[in-house]
Structure 1
Amino acid sequence: MTSVLIVVTGSDHWTLNDGTLHPTGFWAEELLSPLSVFRDAGIPFTIATPGGVRPTVDETSLAPESTGGAEESARQRAALDAIDDQLAAPVKLEDVSADDYAAIYIPGGHGPMEDLAVSPVLGKLLITMLDAGKVVGSVCHGPAALLSATKPDGEWAFAGRVMSGFTNDEERQAGLADKAPWLLEDRLRAAGADLKVGPAWGPFSVVDGTVVTGQNPQSSTEVAEKIVAQLKK
């Protein structure tokens, strides 16, 4: 059966360049919107985290100013409550077999910059799934996780791929660029990504083969829709 593995950051912070810990986690919309798309398409999903830890939602992502208002903020909190059983007991990433899934999706938030970007376990899984022609999707800061996919010869598995991700301009507007130990746009370009971006905070996503990536939270729904389209091929 077609199934999607959703790998969520297990980190509740991002270490800034002065050593302070910036509270973060996963971005609510980037998990919830794709889940809704997958459900509507009848595609089952499994949530996994490093070590099977309960993931932390970035509270900023649930603030009314982030969601577009108090009503949407309350709706997203209720949607998180509805999947609390899965969030409370995610599968251990270390126990995952690529054979069990047709796709992998990684939501953002700054958490992936802390743990998934340097996870050898995730890197190996991504390489296996990519080589098997399975769908790899991610959005916003989630593509930081793809940086973990370094082959034994040192080559990045996604080198040369067209992709998108959170931009330097958006990071500056969000107020963290000057404090960031590294910027996702810079790191993806340096690693060899053919990075494409649209206007700040507007929906933008790209597909390269079985790789689907989006620029920002506003892109999460269309990323999920493009993953579903890939799975239906």
Structure 2
Amino acid sequence: MKKILIAVSEHGFWIEELLLPIDHFNKAGYTYDIITPTGALPFPDGASLDDTYKDPPLGRCVTSPELAERGKNINWEEFFAGRLSLKDWFPVRPYLSADNYVGSLEKYYGARSQAWEKISEYDGLLLVGGSGPIVDMVNNQRLHDLILGFYYADKLIGAECYTVTCLAFARELDTRQSILRGKHCTGHTMEYDYTEGWSLMANGDYLNFGAPPFSLEYILRDTVGPEGQFHGNVGRRTSVILDYPFLTSRSVASSDLCGEVFVKCLSEGIKKYGWK
């Protein structure tokens, strides 16, 4: 039986990007654990529960009435009971200014190796998308170390929407080389980015950033380098790219296909999907 570790933001996740892959896991007989940055209770982005919400760049509603109703009827506290905490698993990298920096760094690497032992019980990692991950998953050193652990163990790593950024940033401190270099991937494109009104939940209220704090497409194009390729697939309803061990999904509409390909990779052994 396969077991998946699912990482979820504590600042708002998109329900479709969590529930539809889980539907595929359940159908395949997989089990899963949920892990969050600090162990706090995750909550869905309110827009993902509203079937009348129109995504401005796409000009259409992106949540079906059925999925919105399903999300509203879920007891999320019960759903996330037993969740794990990245903060409990992984140490944080010491500052250069730390007393006995070399000793502190050795201790950090040792603790990280011990944390990686927990990965042995899992067959894959899924990073759930939404706006919230930009706050507590992107540039989260503990999450990057989790990703590196799965990468070194040659296990499947799936990333949806903005969490693909985590793959670009997951690097060793000494080499600073991205694990995505030379790979094929997809992610949020410029055409899918808001130009105003992009917001996320912070301190109990929505904080309006205007535009997102960065262009994921530009980051990914630079990260994969000349030997790799970013696939925007603009104009196609879905965009999912598997270049093992990385499975990347562009946005909400690709969630179901992401779950399908995730299962095919683990159950059927496919290593490539969505590119030639």
* TM bracket, shorter-chain basis: 0.7 to 0.9
SS in structure 1 at match of 2:138:
helix
Shift of 1:173: 7.1
Range that drifts further, 46-55 or 83-92: 83-92
Q: Which amino acid aligns with 2:84?
A: V
SS in structure 2 at match of 1:141:
helix
Q: How does 1:46-125 map to 2 (within 5 A)?
A: 46-65=33-52, 66-78=61-73, 80-81=74-75, 84-94=77-87, 95=89, 97-125=118-146
4+ residue runs of structure 1 moved beyond 3 angstroms?
A: 66-72, 172-178
Aligned residues: 218
SS in structure 1 at match of 2:157:
strand
Which residue pairs with 1:171 in the alignment?
193
Q: Which amino acid aligns with 1:209?
A: Y
For residue 181 of structure 1, the aligned residue among 196, 203, 213 is 213
Which residue pairs with 1:20 in the alignment?
none
Gaps of 5+ in 1: 13-24
SS in structure 2 at match of 1:197:
coil
Shift of 1:55: 0.9
> Does the 8 Å CA contact 2:123/2:156 hold for their aligned counterparts?
yes
- Does residue 196 of the first structure (1) align with residue 249 of the second (2)? no
Which residue pairs with 1:7 in the alignment?
7
Distance 2:8 2:35 in 1: 6
Gaps of 5+ in 2: 53-60, 90-114, 199-208, 270-276
SS in structure 2 at match of 1:29:
helix
Give a deviation string over 1:19-77, Cα, whole Å, max 9, x none.
xxxxxx11110001011110001000111001111112110111112454544311232
Tell me the percent identity: 26
Task: Name the one with the larger helix percent.
Answer: 1
SS in structure 2 at match of 1:121:
helix
Give a deviation string over 1:112-141, Cα, whole Å, max 9, x none.
112211111111111121121100011112
Q: Which amino acid aligns with 2:34?
A: I
Query: TM-score, length-normalised on structure 1?
Result: 0.85
Q: Which amino acid aligns with 1:112?
A: P
